[in-house]
Amino acid sequence: MRLARKIVMYLVFIGMLLSVYDEFANYMENGDDFKRDPKVLYEIYGELPIPDNTNEIEKKESIRERYSVSLDIYYCTRLSKEQIKRFYIMYLTDKGWKQIDKQDGNCMVLFKKDKWKIAVQDENEKYRVNIYKIYRY
What percent of the chain shows pLDDT beyond 70?
88
CA distances from 82 to 11, 42, 99, 131 (A): 54, 26, 15, 20
Are residues 36 and 23 located together in one domain of the fold?
Answer: no
What confidence tens digit (pLDDT) does each residue in 16-59 have? 998 888 777 766 666 666 677 889 999 999 999 899 889 999 99
Residue 87 — pLDDT band, cuts 50, 70, 90? very high
pLDDT of residue 20: 85
Are residues 83 and 99 located together in one domain of the fold?
Answer: yes
The arrangement of strands across the sheet holding 98-100 comes to 54-64, 68-77, 126-134, 116-123, 107-113, 98-100
Are residues 71 and 122 located together in one domain of the fold?
Answer: yes
Residue 110 — pLDDT band, cuts 50, 70, 90? very high
Are residues 115 and 88 located together in one domain of the fold?
Answer: yes
Q: Which domain holds residue 21?
A: 1-30
The number of distinct structural domains making up the chain is 2
- pLDDT top residue among 29 and 126: 126
- pLDDT top residue among 125 and 56: 56
Are residues 60 and 119 located together in one domain of the fold?
Answer: yes
Asked if residue 2 has pLDDT above 80, the reply is yes
CA distances from 96 to 33, 60, 114, 117 (A): 21, 25, 10, 12
